[in-house]
Amino acid sequence: MVPGADGLVYGCLTHVPLTTDFPTFVEPILLGDAQKAGALNLRDLAPEWEPYHPILGGLAGTFAMKNHVLRHHPGARQVGLCQYRKLVSNRRISRTVAKSYKAMDLVSRRGLSRDLLTEVMLPISHLMVRKMSKAKPKRMKNISISWRPKSAASKPFLQAV
Determine contact, residues 119/81, Cβ cutoff 8 Å: no
Residue 67 and residue 116 in contact, taking contact as beta carbons nearer than 8 Å: no
**124-140 residues labelled b (16+ CB within 10 A) or e (exposed):** eeeebeeeeeeeeeeee
- pLDDT value for 142: 54
What's the confidence (pLDDT) of residue 134? 45
pLDDT of residue 19: 86
Q: Which residue positions in the chain have pLDDT lower than 50?
A: 127, 129-138, 146-161
154 φψ region: left (φ > 0), alpha (ψ -120 to 50), beta (else): beta
Q: Any idea what DSSP says for residue 99?
A: S
pLDDT value at residue 68 = 97
pTM (2 decimals)? 0.76
pLDDT at res. 143: 56
The number of helix segments (H) and strand segments (E) in the chain equals: 5, 9
pLDDT of residue 92: 80
Task: Please say whether the beta carbons of 96 and 107 come within 8 A.
Answer: yes
pLDDT for res 128: 52
pLDDT digits (tens, 9 = 90+) for 55-86: 999 999 999 999 999 999 999 988 999 988 87
N-terminal to C-terminal alpha carbon distance within the chain: 26
